[in-house]
Amino acid sequence: MTRTAAIIGGGVIGGGWAARFLLNGWNVKMYDPNPEAERILGEVMANARRSLPGLMDVAMPPEGELTFCATVAEAVEEAEWIQESVPERLALKHEVLAEIQTACSLEAVIGSSTSGFKPSELQEGAARGGQIVVAHPFNPVYLLPLVEVVATNAEPAVIEKSRDILTGIGMYPLVLEKEIDAHVADRFLEAVWREALWLVKDGIATTEEIDNAIRYGFGIRWAQMGLFETYRTAGGEAGMRHFLAQFGPALKWPWTKLMDVPDFDDELVELIAGQSDAQSGHMTIAELLRARDDNLVSILRALKGRDFGAGALLVAQDKRLAEGTLLGAGVDGFEDLSQPLLTLNRAVPIDWADYNGHMTEFRYLEAFSLATDRFMEIIGCTKDYIKAGASYFTVETHIRHVDEVLCGEVIEVRTQMLLGQGKKLQLYHEMYAGDRLLATGEHFMLHVDLESRRPSEPSEEISAAMAQITEAQAGLGYPEGAGRAIRKPA
């Protein structure tokens, strides 16, 4: 059964929440009195549809249904998760939270996107304070996984449900039992922001120079290792203790102005705004947002390949999405072996696109290689089998490009086994977007002993699996596109 989330307030953050839930298969009911709300959310959804599915290496569930509601009560009445994302005014939040609790289920979780208010402040005067938690995300919500869940006075069942729901939509709930103004992450940002303001005001550095110091230096380290783990490595073989002994005394030096804030007078505002225009004015905000998302997807996918940092969360989410699908099944998991087997089902990520805006040539080979790897798993050539000393090596490949594959399209690869006997394995892949044939790939492989690096006979289990598929697919015939080669010009 499809689950339902309610989003109260559809600005940048509320729209990001809606996109995150919708693209993970939840229905979303949205309330926002802004007459431009549908247009604003439509732009957020376009960016999210282009970027989020490409983070995953399996297909995401069918997109949920979006409904705009005329009242808060209508939006929340069926919701399991309710996200309040109204402006940062405590009186307004109290008013909206009271309206939510009048109409919502007693079992619903009410999360607030507040970046500064503590849960105890939000819960003041509430009918059921234990139902309300801070659920503070980071923009763009549909790509960045962190959610600070500040759970002061929350009921244990609410905390547990918060963990389960947020993890289920691919986010990382950082549950904080002690509250503090601005939570944890924004306090770091505030410290860096204050220092940056002074550096600009005092003429030490421009906005662009400060941004370059971050994105070309420590920002890259922080993206994959955080603060303390980064400094642990800075201590060399002796680790954190050596780092603290070496650099700890510097904390007493007058380097920081954290306890002092420059006045936001017209002169400073114009200085910062003018430098920002000079730095980024050649791009529209829409262009900057797309560049941001493209860059984040590329960084996150690189971390995913290393199964490290935020990338490890994506690896875990892939496993959750694959559960219960044929993408996790062996040969006995397919009810019908008589048809080509589903070996790949995923969206085309941003980093697979070329300068023409469609999938570049070598990514076809990558997609078909992933399909081949999946077929090998189906017949029993798993990671454990390979680790034990045997595998398949590709001898020859032929790819036909039939139609364009655009960035963001969901592709499926279905695989027919043309030959599976003894040392030989010949596969024919067809790539589709819906019913549209995009490409075909034909691959001939030999089973190899990894110690001798010579062809060898596969295990009895693999031979039996290939025989089972051979018998089941005997009626398919030889595909029209198989056996092709590029002919010599006359």
What's the pLDDT at 399?
95
Helix axes 285-306, 37-51, angle to 10 degrees: 30
What's the pLDDT at 251?
66
Q: pLDDT class for 467, splitting at 50, 70, 90?
A: very high
Distance between CA 135 and CA 474 in Å, rounded? 55
Q: Which two tokens stand for residue 14?
A: 């509320």
For 327-476, which CATH superfamily applies? Hotdog Thioesterase (3.10.129.10)
Q: Which two tokens stand for residue 424?
A: 């030989």
pLDDT tens digits, one per residue of 56-74: 999 899 999 999 999 999 9
Provide the CA 85 distance to its chain's centre, in angstroms: 21
Distance between CA 403 and CA 440 in Å, rounded? 10
Mean pLDDT of the chain: 92
Q: pLDDT class for 340, splitting at 50, 70, 90?
A: very high
Burial 264-292 (b: 16+ CB within 10 A, else e): eeeeeeebbeebeeebeeeeeeeeebbee
Out of 1.10.1040.10, 3.40.1010.10, 1.10.260.40, 1.10.10.10, select the CATH number for domain 186-282. 1.10.1040.10
* Whether the predicted pLDDT of 168 surpasses 90: yes
Least confident of 296-300, 410-414, 427-431: 296-300
Among candidate residues 124, 129, 170, 171, the one with its CA nearest the CA of residue 151 = 129
Among the residues of 176-309, which ranges form H helices? Answer: 185-201, 207-213, 219-225, 228-234, 240-247, 266-280, 285-306
What's the pLDDT at 228?
86
Least confident of 33-42, 72-81, 281-290: 281-290
Distance between CA 314 and CA 410 in Å, rounded? 18
Is 10 among the annotated ligand-binding positions?
A: yes
Is 272 among the annotated ligand-binding positions?
A: no
Q: pLDDT class for 40, splitting at 50, 70, 90?
A: very high
Among candidate residues 463, 329, 458, 446, the one with its CA nearest the CA of residue 389 = 458
* Whether the predicted pLDDT of 132 surpasses 80: yes
**Average pLDDT, stretch 305-309?**
91
Q: pLDDT class for 442, splitting at 50, 70, 90?
A: very high
Helices (H) and strands (E) in the chain, counts: 17, 14
The percentage of the chain sitting over the pLDDT mark of 90, rounded to a whole number, equals 70
What's the pLDDT at 156?
92
What does each C-alpha distance from 29 to 44, 85, 99, 133 come to in angstroms? 16, 13, 16, 20
Is 9 among the annotated ligand-binding positions?
A: yes
Is 133 among the annotated ligand-binding positions?
A: no
Q: pLDDT class for 468, splitting at 50, 70, 90?
A: very high
What's the pLDDT at 233?
82
Pairing assessment for the beta strands 424-433 and 410-421 based on DSSP bridges:
antiparallel
> What one-letter code names the amino acid at 326?
L
What's the pLDDT at 224?
87
Is 328 among the annotated ligand-binding positions?
A: no
142: which DSSP letter?
T
Give the residue extent of every domain in the chain. Answer: 4-183, 186-282, 327-476
- Comparing 4-183 with 327-476, is the CATH topology the same? no
pLDDT tens digits, one per residue of 195-226: 999 999 999 999 999 999 999 898 988 888 88
* In contact, 292 and 301? CB cutoff 8 Å: no
* Whether the predicted pLDDT of 302 surpasses 80: yes
Q: Domain 4-183, what fold?
A: Rossmann fold (3.40.50)
What's the pLDDT at 385?
96
Distance between CA 7 and CA 120 in Å, rounded? 22
* In contact, 302 and 60? CB cutoff 8 Å: no
Q: Which residues contact 225 (CB under 8 A, 6 or more apart)?
A: 233, 309
* Whether the predicted pLDDT of 328 surpasses 70: no
* Whether the predicted pLDDT of 237 surpasses 80: yes
What's the pLDDT at 326?
67
What's the pLDDT at 255?
67
* Whether the predicted pLDDT of 18 surpasses 80: yes
**Average pLDDT, stretch 263-275?**
85
What's the pLDDT at 413?
97
Query: For residues 322 and 52, which has the higher predicted lDDT (pLDDT)?
Result: 52
Judging by beta carbons within 10 Å of its beta carbon (0-12, 13-18, 19+), is residue 151 exposed, middle or buried? buried
